[in-house]
Amino acid sequence: MSIERISPREAQQRLRQGAFLIDVREPHEHAGGHAQGAALVPKASLLAEPARHLPAGGAQALLICQSGARSLEAAQMLRTAGFAQVASIDGGTSGWMAEGLPMVVPEQDAHTRDFNERYARHLLLPQVGQAGQRRLRASRVLLVGAGGLGSPAAFYLAAAGVGTLRIADDDVVERSNLQRQILHAEARVSMPKVASAAVALQALNPGVCVEAVPERVTAGNVDRLLDGIDVVVDGADNFATRYVLNDACVRLGKPLVYGAVQRFEGQASVFDAGRHRGQLPCYRCLFPAPPPPELAPDCAQAGVLGVLPGLVGMIQASEAIKLLLGIGEPLSGRLLHVDALTMRFHEMRLAADPACPVCAPGAVSEQPSTNGADQVRAG
């Protein structure tokens, strides 16, 4: 037997006749208001204890959500569980409002309203929800480089609501950057990149704290830059920085989200050996020695497709968010390679090097060195 679907006006008439209205949306969705007379019971709670929330005495329960999809699904599940007197309201709360039917709009301060509206799509995800979004807000990420990789990573981390973004880069915006470094704009050419990044990110999400550090990461400042940081995103453009950063992350137990691009190819991984010595690799396990300089030209010499850093940088942002929330399967122990010309992704398993001088059990990484290099560089 199919579920009865009724209009908002029909629902209001039935309420006058003794029906019972249940709003199955999540609490944050009530910021914009809810139908007058509705009991606010999230879908999961209703399905977990239907007898507690459904009306007694045979009265009909009318379920409402935002548009009608979730309420219909909930009604179908209740019917399957043996509760026959249920119906779903087509159009949901949006339809109720469009019909001009009475609403209850709760009072909220500006901060709460911004939180509920800005992160509404995150709050719907069971893996995030209010607790996860607050966790993101309390998180601190170090972005090394505000260039080709740092630009998309920074934008999406700020949009996701990561509370503090510390951005380290000693370069200034050049016109040649604008082909791929989307944090920057024509009007900010010659401005320090970290200052330009702060302008763009604050415009996107004023609630994010941007700590602009106009410095290149070195052995002398890396510990200070990593202080209080939860996750590191590597968008460096030189080999020395990558090794200093890797060694410090291992020593201090910080997860490092790696990315690199050149011409039409890029790669990404997560190096978390500091928290998992002997189980997961570090950057030096993958690249223990540098190739000759002629085999590893930078983007200024070899060129790079402008959209490629966007692809890899967004992967890095996704990995960082997963690490901050403790969800999903990170790229730890895996190297993801992307070929933009063929749009093919390949994955290679990575193992910890038992002889690694930095991350092997018992190894001591005291002073970062610059011995080693990767095969592709940041843009």
Close Cβ partners of 147 (under 8 Å, ≥ 6 residues apart): 169, 171, 177, 180, 181, 193, 235, 237, 309, 378, 379
Helix (H, G, I), strand (E, B) or coil at 15: helix
How many CA atoms, within 13 angstroms, populate the side-chain half-sphere of residue 221?
Answer: 13
Return the closest-CA partner of residue 234 out of 58, 49, 42, 379: 379
Verify whether residue 299 is a known catalytic residue. yes
Instruction: Enter the tokens of residue 184.
Output: 């920057």
Looking at the chain, how many residues does it have?
379
Instruction: Enter the tokens of residue 355.
Output: 């002889």
C-alpha angle with apex 143: 141 to 148, nearest 5 degrees?
A: 145
Compute the distance between CA of residue 105 and CA of residue 123 in angstroms, rounded to an integer.
19
CB 263 within 8 A of CB 332: no
Instruction: Enter the tokens of residue 262.
Output: 């050149």
What 3 state SS string does 336-376 have?
EEEECCCCEEEEEECCCCCCCCCCCCCCCCCCCCCCCCCCC
CA-based max dimension of the chain = 82
From the candidates 249, 285, 299, 356, which is the catalytic residue? 299
Measured in degrees and rounded to the nearest 5, phi and psi for residue 377 equal -120, 165
Positions marked active-site: 299
